[in-house]
């Protein structure tokens, strides 16, 4: 990954799970930030330094998890995926997925291979979204500029 790629926040109090995911992410060349409490996680999210993804434990101490997720969604930019690790899939979590408050759910009770697979899928989805954003920007520039000269085309000049 390029050096300018934003880090992934691991807000996981469970040492074994955090170590497993941190090792996996670092093996992919991803920068990782760790938060052990809700306050630390929110502090990193609200610092306005971009994050590629936030992997948050539903058992994170320090604040009610729905409140944390709402504040996280507001604090993180639209490119930051929020992945929740939870013990069970409840209707509450399904509703939060539908609302766009979280982007994915991962069950903590699954084996480590499954967890690794789901994190790899989340990383790939994040990278595809970044690629799509770049392609959209490129297309937008191509529609505004003349191919030969590189200056604004007639339509863009009339719009301006």
Q: What Å distances lie between residue 91 and 95, 110, 158, CA to CA? A: 6, 19, 51
Q: What Å distances lie between residue 21 and 15, 59, 110, CA to CA? A: 10, 16, 13
Q: What is the pLDDT of residue 77?
A: 67
Q: What is the pLDDT of residue 75?
A: 77
Mean pLDDT, the chain, integer: 85
What tokens does 58 get? Answer: 């539903």
Instruction: Work out the burial of residue 94: count CB atoms within 10 Å of its CB; fewer than 13 is exposed, 13-18 middle, 19 or more buried.
Output: exposed
10-52 tens-digit pLDDT: 999 889 888 988 988 888 888 899 998 888 888 888 877 788 8
With 50 as the cut, is the pLDDT of residue 1 above it? no
Q: What is the pLDDT of residue 125?
A: 85
């Amino acid at each position: 990954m390029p050096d300018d790629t934003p880090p992934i926040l691991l807000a996981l109090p469970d040492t074994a799970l955090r170590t497993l995911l941190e090792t996996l992410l670092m093996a992919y060349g991803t920068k990782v930030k760790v938060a052990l409490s809700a306050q630390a996680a929110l502090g990193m999210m609200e610092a306005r330094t971009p994050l590629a993804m936030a992997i948050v434990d539903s058992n994170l101490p320090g604040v009610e998890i729905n409140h944390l997720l709402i504040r996280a969604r507001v604090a993180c930019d639209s490119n930051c995926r929020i992945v929740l690790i939870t013990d069970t899939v409840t209707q509450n979590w399904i509703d939060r997925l539908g609302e766009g408050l979280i982007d994915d759910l991962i069950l903590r009770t699954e084996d480590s291979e499954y967890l690794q697979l789901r994190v790899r899928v989340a990383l790939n989805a994040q990278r595809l979204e970044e690629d799509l954003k770049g392609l959209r920007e490129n297309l937008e520039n191509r529609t505004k500029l003349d191919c030969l000269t590189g200056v604004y085309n007639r339509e863009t000049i009339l719009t301006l």
